[in-house]
Amino acid sequence: MLVIHPDECIDCGVCVPECPAEAILPDTEPGLEKWLELNLRYAQKWPNLTAKKDPLPQAKEMDGVPNKLEKYFSENPGSGDE
């Protein structure tokens, strides 16, 4: 999982088609308050990505799995650009 800092996003929409799980939505969509808060919180803690990376090996099998956040989310940061 990656997060986008809502205050630093310029709303250009370039990232939307880059997400194979279609999990990136404009912050103008109704009902996204929980996700905006999560993105803000972890964008301030986790390292930045400045280059495209390949999806994790299990990304396709996890696409569409219900309640992933509750079951699998970790507050620990990934490696960023390393």
Which mean pLDDT values do the consecutive 10-residue runs of the chain (82 residues) have?
Answer: 93 90 90 95 93 87 94 90 74
Number of helices (H) and strands (E) in the chain: give both, helices first: 3, 0
pLDDT at 54: 86
**Boundaries of every domain in the chain:** 16-72
pLDDT at 6: 92
For residue 62, the one-letter residue type is M
| HSE-CB for 44 with a 13 A CA cutoff | 7
Q: Are 49 and 80 in contact (CB under 8 A)?
A: yes
pLDDT at 42: 97
pLDDT at 55: 85
Q: Are 3 and 38 in contact (CB under 8 A)?
A: yes
